[in-house]
Amino acid sequence: MSAIEQAKGVLSWLNIETPSWAYGNSGTRFKVFSQAGVPRDPFEKIADAAQVHKFTGSAPTVALHIPWDKVADYKVLADFAGEKGVALGTINANTFQDDDYKLGSVCHPDPAIRKKAVAHLLDCIEIMNQTGVRDLKLWFADGTNYPGQDNIADRQNRLADSLQQTYSHLAGDQRLLLEYKFFEPAFYHTDVPDWGTSFAHCLNLGERAFVCVDTGHHAPGTNIEFIVAVLLRAKKLGAFDFNSRFYADDDLIVGAADPFQLFRIMHEVNSNGGFGTGSPVSFVLDQCHNIEGKIIGQIRSIMNVQEAVAKAVLVDQTALRAAQVSGDVLEANSIIMDAFNTDVRPLIAEWRIEQGLNPDPIKAFKASGYLQQIEGERVGGNQAGWGA
């Protein structure tokens, strides 16, 4: 099979889940800007996500965040998604927006607060039971702001116990994804700050527990693709939360800040069996479109991931391996750079046409009139947001 056919094969396999919260209003502590036509409820968020799938062919599932996407009947929401041509995806728990969680949730000194937090995680598993969703994603804001505020080891014990209680309720093909983040909102220590801490807890839990790598959650200068290679080798990489950043957890469009880093990450995914049937890795966007169009922002994000993936699959692995084994440093690097510097946009446009899609998804979406339609229809009501 030629490299181009291989790339098209991976593009056809690739599903990039979009996050419901990317379609709502978002911002910073300074300002959350509203936009005309923003969804008012999870149904309208899913309708917008379905547009991204309609024009890219690569976004068939939508991640939910509870309680931001709380509905009376999740089966009804799942059926609605089906009518729109998509499906419900990863269930994201939220133990970071309740006054009770000021000093933490699953790591809180007070067992009653920990009990409340675990109860929420079990409620999320119940939603998975009702909808057939496989993945529960856990990101904890838990941490401290001042040295001495709490005992770090005690908090790890509380975390391990809370995770074990949650893990014991998983069934069927259900998985638990533990996401790490080196700081914010905690500014002294975070209880799950890095891949090593998440990895250790996942190993301790068992085969249903995997690490989630959010590309915006590392200290500047971190070699994220190294982490990806190590976790894939250990068969413990369960998911990505894709976005990009110039400084902190900016949650910008993936590949916007550093397309070369995204390519290097995808090269490690490709080199370690992360693409194709049987891969345990789910690809999810976790972004906020604070000032730009949200649906077009998601379409652009899918296109950036497709470009990085296609370039990675074009790496001449045989020549690369030969150069690596023979210690030909510059030859090995040039093979990587050749792939990165390949303009894959014509290849992807051709693949879209072969899929019955418009080669330019953004132009096609703009021409569809959907934006004008929702701006006209969605008047009144409360626009969705983080509710922070």
- Indicate the residue among 285 and 323 with the shorter CB distance to Mn ion: 285
Residue with tokens 């949730």: 105
Q: Residue 221 class from Cβ within 10 Å (0-12 exposed, 13-18 middle, 19+ buried)?
A: exposed
| Beta-bridge partners for 54 | none
- From the CB of 23, what's the least distance to ligand LRH, in Å? 13
Distance CA(374)–CA(325), nearest Å, equals 56
Residues 223-242 close enough to bind Mn ion by CB under 5 A: 241
- 179 lines the binding site for ligand LRH (CB under 6 A): yes
Contact between 139 and ligand LRH (CB under 6 A)?
Answer: yes
> x/- binding map, residues 309-348, to ligand LRH, per CB under 6 A?
----------------------------------------
Q: How many residues at the interface with ligand LRH, by CB under 6 A? A: 9
| x/- track of binding to ligand LRH for residues 58-97 (CB under 6 A) | ----------------------------------x-----
Nearer to Mn ion, 245 or 366 (CB): 245
Per-position DSSP letters for 283-313, written without gaps between them: EEE----SSS-HHHHHHHHHHHHHHHHHHHH
Among 249, 313, 335, 365, binds ligand LRH (CB under 6 A): 249
- Asked if 241 interacts with ligand LRH (CB under 6 A), we say yes
Task: Verify binding: residue 307, Mn ion, rule CB under 5 A.
Answer: no
Residue 249 contact among ligand LRH, Mn ion, none, beta carbon within 5 to 8 Å by kind: ligand LRH
Tokens of 56: 């890219």
Are the beta carbons of 234 and 274 closer than 8 angstroms? no
- The C-alpha atoms of residue 90 and residue 139 are separated, in whole angstroms, by 12
Answer with the entry of Mn ion, ligand LRH, none that 191 interacts with (C-beta below 5 to 8 A by kind): none
Q: Measured from the CB of residue 272, what is the shortest distance to ligand LRH in angstroms?
A: 23
Nearer to ligand LRH, 48 or 241 (CB): 241
CA distances from 266 to 137, 211, 213, 225, 228 (A): 22, 17, 13, 8, 9
236 scored as a contact of ligand LRH (CB under 6 A):
no
Place of tokens 């790490």: 180
286 binds Mn ion (CB under 5 A): yes
Q: What is the 3-state secondary structure (H, E, C) of 81-99?
A: HHHCCCEEEEEECCCCCCH
Q: Give the Cα separation of 85 and 46 in Å (integer).
A: 10
To the nearest whole angstrom, how small is the minimum distance from the Cβ of residue 214 to Mn ion? 4
Query: Toward ligand LRH, which CB reaches closer, 92 or 198?
Result: 92
Inter-residue contact 10 to 309 (CB < 8 Å): yes
Residue nearest to ligand LRH (CB): 139
User: Does the protein bind Mn ion through residue 249 (CB under 5 A)?
Assistant: no
**10, 354 Cβ separation under 8 angstroms:** no
Binding site for ligand LRH (CB under 6 A): 21, 92, 139, 179, 181, 214, 241, 249, 286
Binding site for Mn ion (CB under 5 A): 214, 241, 286
